[in-house]
Chain A
Amino acid sequence: MTFISLSFMIFLPLVVAAYFICPTRWRWALLLAASCYFYMAFVPAYILVLFALIAIDYIGALLIERSEGRSRTMYLVLCIVGSVGLLFFFKYFDFFNGNVAALAHLLDWNYSIPALKLLWPLGLSFHTFQSLSYVIEVYRGTYKAERHLGVYALYVMFFPQLVAGPIERPAQLIPQLKNPRSFDYSNAVEGLQMILWGFFKKVVIADNLGVMVDFIYAHSATADGSVIALAVAAFAVQLYADFSAYSDIAIGSAKMLGIDLVQNFRQPFFSRSVAEFWRRWHISLSSWFRDYVYTPLLWQWRAGGRIAEFAVIMITFVLVGFWHGPAWTFIVMGAIFGTYIALGSLTKRIRDALLRPFPQLLRSWWQVLITYCLVAVAFVFFRAPSLGAALDLLHTLVTRWGSGAFAFLRCSDYCSVYAIGIGRKELLAVGVAVLALFIYEYIQQVGITVPAWLDRRLVRWSAYYALILCMLLMAHFIPRTFIYFQF
């Protein structure tokens, strides 16, 4: 059951209604049952993997809390090995095995371990990290181990964020699950607003851009540089609209139940540097790596100076990339982001000096534009099926600019479809929707106070109906899963 489905539109109101009708002390059980049902709607058997993960970290955290010294550390290591071992087995084994086999072949060794070819349990990377944050917090003594197995299981399995985050921390989520709030009108309305906005971003922006991006990537061998540039620029927006839509719907759904989830995106495309971008993009993941990898490593290697700092940045971002999937493309993407940030830090003074003569506003917009371009180029490795394909695409992007550049803007609808996969009218419509998204985000970024007349019910409801109308007119209604479901 995906968020963008008729089933979810029936499931969510039923769960919300049942949740508030149910006696407070049984609400955790209701949510857990709903979460199990939600997860089992994908591949039922894989709930056993989730149960194994819950069991490992539940028991592990209790043991950690009861122990001291080396045994405490040993239990932590066992928990990490157990949790990451599950993730490795299902998601990364074939990648490592394939690479070892390729190396063995190169060196003429005899190596015959077959690939497992397992279907990944949905969202395994997300709930593994969420579960790990719990045991680490217990180990650090910043959070007490949860005694209630049901509540802990719900912490890992809470359905709105089960398959694609946000990755929650125990101190944020568990107390809310243990102490349910009563129904709140403004929470319910705010939740619905977020869900509506998420639906708009997904079906109007992400899915329509996806049609174009998929087409151009599939025909990149014959495409012009301008067409590739369009795909590269559009994919960054598609990825954002797709993933932030999921987060919005997740946060909105939880909000309707009176549960606050963490913010996962904060207008990332208004960032003025790549480092800032990662503070605003997939915040729950980047802050996880910051708290559990970057900061501890930096502390360990504090004597190493700037070189150690850059090494830590690179390690962290390669891991961030690898978290996304078992492929060299993701590793390279992480390395590119790490390089951007390291170089950004090295060249900050020079860049600031060069830009100083220009007005502040111009400076900011220039930095925003450059950051966007850098990010879009790095995301080529996210989208491309292989390293070779990504490099070919970037080569075309730079070299194949002929007289026919941007011909898709000038020719008929028919030829536009053959060049970029969608007609000019559709391109215009999705362009307007993207513009609306960025205007909305700019208002949030700058913090413009909404005039009172804009907050009147008539205006607000007109806006909601307009969003619904856009969805009904522009949605493809062919199931396109969320991009981050693969992780």
Chain B
Amino acid sequence: MARFIKTLALFVLPLAVVFSFPVVVFIKSGELYSLPEVEHLANTTPVLFGAAYSNFLQEYKFEMTQMRRPQVLALGSSRVGAFNSRFFKHPETFYNATGDVLAFSDFQNYVDGLSQKPSIIIVGMDQYFFNPARPIDDILERPNPFTTHVSAQDIVIEGMFGQGGWWRVYSDYAQGKFTLGELFAPRHMSTIGLRAYAGDGHVNDGSHYPGNIDTDPQAEQHITDTIAALVASINDTDGAEYGPSITPHALVQLRALLHDCQEKGIVVVGFLPPFAHAAYQALLAHPNAPYAKTFKTLPGVLASIYREYGFGFYDYSDPAFVSGSDKEMVESKHGSEKLYARIVLDMARRSGVIAPLVDAPMLQKQLKAATSSYMLYSLQ
């Protein structure tokens, strides 16, 4: 048996050597923090949470919403990430559950799962939910993610192996995405996960902080590149991005959601999140008629459905609708904090539900005073 143990130890040794670096980095960076640990920190100290190699954001945001019991909840895909609690008069009543909706059924599951319902939900109706070219189980219906329990073992396995974290950590280190010095240096806030060490993550109110885009000299070029890539993909006939009509199934689900919220006394404020102006124009101008048809009719169709239930709906597909520009986009499909401040101001002007929640003159003043193209507030 001793011989076997020796041979086995010798065999395992190279594997142990290969894995020791990722293990150290993962432990030190907080990539392996369990969700209760992250939630505890987010409820007690300023936090920037951004795991690079695992994605349990949905489960985390849901748990946080349960704990925070917000009155106003922003719900949607990553595209609603820039809603900041400081836009509102009472920041403590707001939580941003960005990233929690990947399929339309997630809206309903989220609302159903909350033990205490919010008074108002601001929902980002991503245009792709209404795209008949995408399979229904991809964008409309999928298993409820808010009932699964994420164990510490899930995080270890997903983080180390699920997305190849153990080897990606080597390539990220080689590319200088992080240094060991950064990991061991003291921080003024709890930084959890390697993406957070690069400045990118979710803060205590759930909003997304998009990293050091103000100080990164390559950021502007990178954003321009993502917009150009989206425009190119829109013009690429292989993209099959949007089909010829609005998916009827999505409209059925939307009606069910609005009806349910109405029954539960939740006020829904819906909106179409912004594309970069150049991308939106490319979508409208595409020679293939279906693109333009869908994009021209979608806001009207959705607004009339919202109206049926007494709710407001707003189209912000183009930053220009709120006097914004591509300079205020942080990526081709993601608006910046500044752009979302404009959106909130516009909502406050047009919606009797949002108006009392926002100190519009103050927010206007903050917008004017902002020196950054993207950000309104500094990291806490």
Q: Which of B81-89, B153-161, B179-187, B193-201 has 4 or more CB atoms under 8 Å from chain A?
A: B153-161
Is A218 an interface position by the 8 A CB rule?
Answer: yes
Is A468 an interface position by the 8 A CB rule?
Answer: yes
Q: Which of A34-42, A126-134, A410-418 has 4 or more CB atoms under 8 Å from chain B?
A: A410-418
- Rounded to whole angstroms, the CA-CA distance of A461 and B14 in the bound complex is 11
Decide if B11 touches A461 in the complex (CB within 8 Å): yes
> Which residues of A are found within 8 Å of B3, using beta-carbon distances?
185
> Which residues of B are found within 8 Å of A20, using beta-carbon distances?
1
A222 CB to nearest chain B CB (Å): 9
A12 CB to nearest chain B CB (Å): 13
> Which residues of B are found within 8 Å of A411, using beta-carbon distances?
238
**CB contact list, A436-487 vs B, under 8 A:** 461, 464-465, 468, 472-473, 475-478
- Rounded to whole angstroms, the CA-CA distance of A411 and B238 in the bound complex is 8
Decide if A477 touches B238 in the complex (CB within 8 Å): no
**A218-B137, A412-B238 given; A472·B166 CB < 8 A:** yes
Name the residue of chain B whose CB is nearest to the CB of A475. Answer: B161
Greatest chain B CB density within 10 A among A188, A189, A464 is at A188
CB < 8 Å: which of B8, B135, B162, B167 contacts A219? B135
Is B310 an interface position by the 8 A CB rule?
Answer: no
Name the residue of chain A whose CB is nearest to the CB of B240. Answer: A415
- Rounded to whole angstroms, the CA-CA distance of A473 and B239 in the bound complex is 28
Interface residues on A, range: 20 to 34
Name the residue of chain B whose CB is nearest to the CB of A472. Answer: B161
Is B113 an interface position by the 8 A CB rule?
Answer: no
Decide if A6 touches B1 in the complex (CB within 8 Å): no
**CB contact list, A291-310 vs B, under 8 A:** none
**CB contact list, B189-239 vs A, under 8 A:** 238-239
> Which residues of A are found within 8 Å of B161, using beta-carbon distances?
472, 475, 477
Decide if A183 touches B1 in the complex (CB within 8 Å): yes
Decide if B240 touches A188 in the complex (CB within 8 Å): no
Interface membership of chain A positions 214-229, coded 1 if the CB is closer than 8 angstroms to chain B and 0 otherwise: 0000110000000000
- Rounded to whole angstroms, the CA-CA distance of A192 and B4 in the bound complex is 11
Decide if A477 touches B14 in the complex (CB within 8 Å): no
> Which residues of B are found within 8 Å of A219, using beta-carbon distances?
135
Instruction: Specify the main secondary structure of chain B where it touches its partner.
Output: helix
CB < 8 Å: which of B4, B135, B158, B167 contacts A477? B158
Decide if A415 touches B238 in the complex (CB within 8 Å): yes
Instruction: Specify the main secondary structure of chain A where it touches its partner.
Output: helix
> Which residues of B are found within 8 Å of A475, using beta-carbon distances?
161
Name the residue of chain B whose CB is nearest to the CB of A412. Answer: B238
Interface membership of chain A positions 394-436, coded 1 if the CB is closer than 8 angstroms to chain B and 0 otherwise: 0000000000000000011011001000000000000000000
Decide if B4 touches A473 in the complex (CB within 8 Å): no
Is B252 an interface position by the 8 A CB rule?
Answer: no
Is B300 an interface position by the 8 A CB rule?
Answer: no
A57 CB to nearest chain B CB (Å): 36
Decide if B157 touches A188 in the complex (CB within 8 Å): no
Greatest chain A CB density within 10 A among B1, B11, B164 is at B1
Decide if B164 touches A473 in the complex (CB within 8 Å): yes
> Which residues of B are found within 8 Å of A192, using beta-carbon distances?
8
Decide if A6 touches B153 in the complex (CB within 8 Å): yes
B146 CB to nearest chain A CB (Å): 17
- Rounded to whole angstroms, the CA-CA distance of A418 and B136 in the bound complex is 12
- Rounded to whole angstroms, the CA-CA distance of A464 and B162 in the bound complex is 21
Is B174 an interface position by the 8 A CB rule?
Answer: no
> Which residues of B are found within 8 Å of A477, using beta-carbon distances?
157-158, 161-162
Name the residue of chain A whose CB is nearest to the CB of B11. Answer: A461
Name the residue of chain A whose CB is nearest to the CB of B153. Answer: A6
Is B15 an interface position by the 8 A CB rule?
Answer: yes
CB < 8 Å: which of A188, A414, A468, A476 contacts B4? A188
- Rounded to whole angstroms, the CA-CA distance of A235 and B185 in the bound complex is 52
Give me the interface of B with A, judged by CB distance under 8 Å: 1, 3-4, 7-8, 11, 14-15, 135, 137, 153, 157-158, 161-162, 164, 166-167, 238-240
Known pairs A189-B4, A189-B7; list 20 more (Cβ under 8 Å).
Answer: A6-B153, A20-B1, A183-B1, A185-B4, A192-B8, A218-B137, A219-B135, A414-B239, A418-B135, A418-B240, A461-B11, A464-B11, A465-B14, A465-B15, A472-B161, A473-B164, A475-B161, A477-B157, A477-B158, A477-B162
